[in-house]
Structure 1
């Protein structure tokens, strides 16, 4: 009888928090994954459609409606910007069917970025859906020391409370108008600033140094950086007349100079390819360099002693061009039968050859290289060679909407100097992000190096914000009003400001918790017990995450080099999403691998030229080790709540 009473007891606040954490984490990543399928954008809701009764992406749509659509400038874009431009671009990229990490045998850039975005935005999602709890008492007389990790951590909590429930936003804007000196701000703000610097440095370090695709991302950023005509843009920004300045910038970035653009304009032709503007040329050029190097590696494989037979290579290239349905079926059979993607492709074809283990390994690499080449071709086709060119049209729409803001900022700030500051920051960032030292003894860039980078350049940002706040009173008032609106979205059990969110107000003011409580009460007793056990384990995982993050931020601030990676609970969540990604077996017959597999990480870390980019996997493993907490299993919880959770968000 006592056991029945215990199992029938409602969820404790800690268990409810763990349940909400599991569901928002799962739902956010699922919604991001769904965008690889064609048609997902057509069931999104505002600003793309007004007549959607049940959004397939309630969390993403809610964040867009509450925070992005209300941004000064972006709130004034035309309806055509969303429905005629952005919607079509998203659909075109989904139709392109960019390759899966499973097929390539590596963790690609898209997977790295998708998991990173999901791990980050689930935090504001939880705040906007569940509210940020109000603390009854804040010690306003407390002193804060930026060199004391405990003070830095506490300052973040206190500042968030004062931003959401107090008047810190007004104080920040007022002080920014007075000075660009951080030391003039209250100690709590200085400590909070240090918290932000350390966490931002942590994200940069993990993305560019420790993640498997870090070297590739770094190389792409460097290529774009070298192609941007900074000097020409800076000279144009010095023009005093705003209209003339904007016209000049638009000519530099968006103008197309080709015979087709002229004949289309005067009516001698219609729909002819007008070529590419500077932005599209940069995208195309950077990706073409990648394609060239990838093809070189593929050609090298064809000439090797252990190269897969020609008929195998031709069948693999043929498979890449086939339908999405056939790709999905091949992937399904590979996972069910524990066969590599190459082995399944060949088993479904007329090709009948026996390959050695080395030939099979080369065939997997050959397939991966050609998939990567096709991805880059499709991205260039959608963004740079589409006719009509909706990317250029979207940028023009955005510039038109932001013209009033640009006019005010142009009058308040020396934009040419600001662009110079940005160029110097990127140059410095690229320099410190690469390992230094002799080959084989390279020294890994540390989190502290990125903290120092941000400290060196923070004055440029402070100067820019001060000039805007001091000289651009009107534009400053727009952003202050927006900041108050955004902060009010996180107030606990208070009706949020009106927005186009598909998630109803009753859901975010306690209705969601009530729905989850009701669902739990209706579960069979056996499942209740299992769910509670999973929630208890997940609650401990959350505590471990925050404790580990606090220890890392302490190590970075104290400069004792005791941690190889920075703070942030999101890093562990991001790493886990990558680690659990399914990857094709390495041999013709073998178990399906995951992103956590050492061989997968080693292949993912290779630069496009075939060499190791940045850290070796052994170096990365030494850096990260097994120190990140791993979430416990939550299958029963998801089975019982995931669909109810999504339905409640989507329909209210």
Structure 2
């Protein structure tokens, strides 16, 4: 077959690896009488690339030929696992399209093709990539998106970071430093019904300014605090949540045949539940399942009346959500703190007043009443302003800000008491040493970064660095742990002051202004909801769910730790209220449901792998590699020197193996409560302190994480967080160390202390490959590739 379009062929040699070092091109010419061939090493092309012709390759050979016609060409390689892509551009110098390239898929088979002697050959990629290009590209996308997502979130600590992102934020014209988050934010957040109607001022003068205020505040790092705090826990969770859709957005969700021809799934079998969810996504992205689900939800609120595919996929999502709740509230070191904070906030919510207001028939009056409950500032000036005696002012706090202050400062007294205990201890640092530690907290960002960097480089406790840097006397061995605790308490107290100053005391009050503007933009949505749904009943349902969830907080000396199965049962108990809400929206709010169905459809379409739309495959393995980034990522790897390329590929292989192991483990753990045990009885709502909180009787199961690769990704972020050494000479600790996991700002006891410690025994999350070399070599290039992808075409580096 004469080839006049781009052609890519790759073949793994069947000869021993040591036979020859460089790939060879094998040409052959045959007729009735003779058959001959010639092997030509392509070492020169490996280094230089470029377009050459068959005639040029053969001109110095002793190849017996008839009119320089070549019957076939074969590529041979000297090292198993190495590939060579031989390309024939459609015209000289033209870059072939991505769908005209094809990596090796059957390494044990020989590929032949016929060429004219004048056909130009372009050795774009020779050597270095593993035989399965798809796995390598997927692993590379996972590794780099994992790093990029967290890095972009961490960059928000720098004042003015959003000015280097992109619209809708105010930018300074510089290159987009947050291409991944900007793509997802623009594609999935900005188009949300209601939010799409806010003004540019909402993003630029409200949200951007508040985020910059937090950056300028220079809040403490986990390194200083000595433990993984709530901000770090939530930030890493956000990074994992961003990285997951990012991989789908860029890599695409390949179109495949459904796992079965008939929609029959057994929710007691993990393989059926996992297969159902994958089939659910296939039909959601490429078929009309979204329309069917909306239509069925409008006809019934009963899950069992939906298609079996939807029921099984629902079970998958329920278990994953239960695993997430269990992980953040039970497994993470600060889970108990978060439960206590939520309980404090829940006690301040005026549910009765909210339900009464939501029952008001007139939507405008209802919205106005809710705004008064949440945003009216309780000061003397607010009363006189309401009566028209004085002008309105931003002074004072409203209910929303009061709740924020209570949540942020719920343990302030405990911290102050602990600081007083340290000061009175016989092993306490001296007064002068304590003053130096307190003065460090007040210093600027540059001083903080300098001390942290020096402490980490010398592997010495941060308190030692601070005292040495600012002229303090050295600490004794007995003083060291108390000094670390004292510094941790001081940075925690300082953080609370800064956070409440920004959200509660700032003038002008940007938070209240942002809430008002957001509610105004959502006015059509709220009116439609008010007409379609019993909002008062919905609030009661939410309150009941929250009460049951908070009752699982293990506290007290003899408390038992909740398991993932307990959270599964809680969600099963309350899922009917969620189904009822969706049913009411779809049945009574056709315009409202159409807005969200349109949004969901356009969002799902962004995960389509365009090049695979017409070529479905029944293979369970993903196809298409890294989607629209595959070519750019492969090129970036091949442009690395041989040694560095090998390091990257080795880390990709390790990551791919780890990911495959996790997928198998998570799938096996997918089923909980196959017998559908009843949920615990509703517990009485209490407003007691955490030490006296009532709990249900959760099962005494060891608190191991539930299924979900997302959780392992999240844990990898936490495990990589550096923490100050606890002893002179180090080492620098990390978030995955047992000593760090059991640490915290509030002393723990009983099961509350044992739960994270037992979770630390599970080495699965700690075994995740670091892939630091890949990030070092390709992290910057990946950001450039994302910038180019945002312009409508993947970045390329021509050879």
Shorter-chain TM range is over 0.9
- Find the structure with the greater CA-based Rg: 2
Report Cα offsets for 1:420-467 as digits up to 9, x if no partner: 00001000000023258xx3x532101000000000000000011101
- Aligned position for 1:417: 537
In 2 relative to 1, CA 339–412 (structure 1 residues): closer, same or farther, beyond 3 Å?
same
- Between the aligned partners of 1:611 and 1:106, the Cα distance in structure 2 is 13
CA distance in 2, matches of 1:279, 1:93: 19
- The question of whether the paired residues in 2 share the 8 Å contact of 1:271 and 1:387 is answered with no
- Name the CA distance, whole Å, in 2 between partners of 1:265 and 1:443: 51
Match of 2:8 in 1: none
Inter-CA distance 537–58: structure 2 relative to 1 (3 Å threshold): same
- Look up the match of 2:649: 532
Residue 489 of structure 1 deviates from its aligned partner by 0.6
Per-residue Cα deviation, 1:108-144 (whole angstroms, up to 9, x for no partner):
1111111111122211011111211110455341411
Matched residue, 1:347: 468
Distance 1:313 1:269 in 2: 47
1:363 equivalent to 2:480? Answer no
The answer to whether the 8 Å contact 1:435/1:445 transfers is: no
- Checking the alignment, whether the CA contact within 8 Å between 2:348 and 2:403 is kept in structure 1 is yes
What is the CA-CA distance between 1:553 and the residue it aligns to?
1.2
1:477-511, Cα deviation, whole Å (9 max, x unpaired): 10111111000010003799xxxxxxxxxx99955
Compared CA separation, residues 631 and 619, structure 1 to 2 (3 A)? closer
Q: 1:421 to 1:262 in 2, by over 3 A?
A: closer
Quote the offset at 1:344 in angstroms: 0.8
Q: How far did residue 617 of structure 1 move?
A: 4.3
State the shift of 1:640 in Å. 2.6
Give me the whole-angstrom Cα distance separating, in 1, the residues matched to 2:307 and 2:555.
38
The yes-or-no answer on 1:573 pairing with 2:713 is yes
Shift of 1:650: 2.2
SS, match of residue 410 in structure 2: helix
* Runs of 4+ residues deviating >6 angstroms: 262-272, 558-563
Q: Does 1:586 align with 2:707?
A: no
Corresponding residue for 1:551? 668
CA gap 1:521/1:633 in 2 versus in 1, 3 angstroms:
same
Q: Is the 8 A contact 2:460 2:729 kept in 1?
A: yes
User: How much is the aligned-residue C-alpha RMSD, in angstroms?
Assistant: 2.5
- Residue 382 (str. 1) matches residue 507 (str. 2): no
Question: What is residue 778 of structure 2 aligned with on the other side?
Answer: 641
1:526 deviates by 2.3
Cα distance between partner residues in 1 of 2:778 and 2:22: 22
* Structure 2 residue aligned with 1:299: 420
2:295 to 164, 170, 174: 174
Give the distance between the partners of 1:402 and 1:187, measured in 2 at CA.
Answer: 35
User: Does residue 452 in structure 1 map to residue 569 in structure 2?
Assistant: yes
**TM score, norm. by length of structure 2:** 0.76
Change (3 A) 1:619 1:84: closer
Partner Cα separation in structure 2 for residue 618 and residue 205 of structure 1: 11
User: For residues 260-409 of structure 1, what are the structure 2 equivalents within 5 Å?
Assistant: 260-261=381-382, 274-352=395-473, 354-409=474-529
Report the alpha carbon displacement of residue 49 of structure 1 after superposing the two structures with TM.
2.9
Check conservation: 1:260, 1:273, Cα contact below 8 A: no
Q: Assess if the C-alpha contact under 8 Å between 1:495 and 1:509 holds in 2.
A: no
Of structures 1 and 2, the one with the larger relative CO (CA 8 A, separation 6+) is 1
Any idea what the Cα deviations from partners look like across 1:602-638, whole Å, max 9, x if unmatched? 212x53xx34385324763257522336222423322
Paired with 2:140 and 2:231, the residues of 1 have a C-alpha distance of 29
Q: Distance in 2 between matches of 1:100 and 1:175?
A: 49
Rounded to whole Å, the distance in 2 between the matches of 1:210 and 1:618 is: 7
| 1:603 pairs with 2:763 | no
Number of residue pairs matched by the alignment: 635
Unaligned residue ranges in structure 1 (runs of 5+): 497-506
Aligned match of 2:640: 523
The 1:20/1:619 distance shift into structure 2, 3 A limit, reads: closer
Find out whether 1:427 has 2:544 as its counterpart: no
Residue aligning to 2:763? 626
The question of 1:615 aligning with 2:732 is answered no
C-alpha spacing 1:137/1:194, structure 2 compared with 1 (3 Å): closer
Alignment of 1:24-103 (within 5 A): 24-49=145-170, 52=173, 54-103=175-224
Q: Is 1:512 aligned to 2:643, yes or no?
A: no
* Structure 2 stretches lacking a partner, 5+ long: 1-18, 24-78, 83-126, 614-623, 677-698, 790-799
> Once the 2 structures are TM-superposed, how far is the Cα of residue 288 of structure 1 from its aligned partner?
2.9
Q: Hey, which of these two has a bigger chunk of strand by percent? A: 2
The answer (yes or no) to whether the contact 2:134–2:625 under 8 Å persists in 1 is no
